[in-house]
Structure 1
Amino acid sequence: MNTFVIGDIHGGLRALQQVLQAAQVTQGDRLIFLGDYVDGWSQSAQTISFLIALAEKQECIFIKGNHDVWCEGWLKEGLAPQLWLTHGGKETVDSYKDIDGHTRLEHLNWLERMPYYVVDEQNRLFIHAGFTSMHGPEKEFHSSNFSWDRTLWEMAITMDQRIKKDSLLYPKRLKLFSEIFIGHTPTLYYNITTPMQGCNVWNLDTGAAFKGRLSIMNIDTKEFWQSDPLWQLYPGEHGRNGA
Structure 2
Amino acid sequence: MSMIHFVGGEKGGVGKSVLSRLLSQYFLDNSMPYIGLDADQSHPTLSRYYQDYTRPINLDHFESIDQIMELALEEDCNILIDLPAQSERFLDRWIEENGVIEMCEEMGIKLAYWYAVDSGPDSVNLLDNFLNKYNDQFTVLVAKNQGRGTDFSTIEALTQLQNSDRESMPVYQFYIPALHAPTMQKIEKIGLSFWAAAHLKDGDVEHLGIMERQRSKVWVNKVHQTVGILLSYL
Q: Same fold (TM over 0.5)?
A: no
> TM-score scaled to structure 2, two decimals?
0.35
> TM-score scaled to structure 1, two decimals?
0.35
More relative contact order, 1 or 2 (CA 8 Å, 6+ apart):
1
Structure with the higher fraction of residues in helix conformation: 2
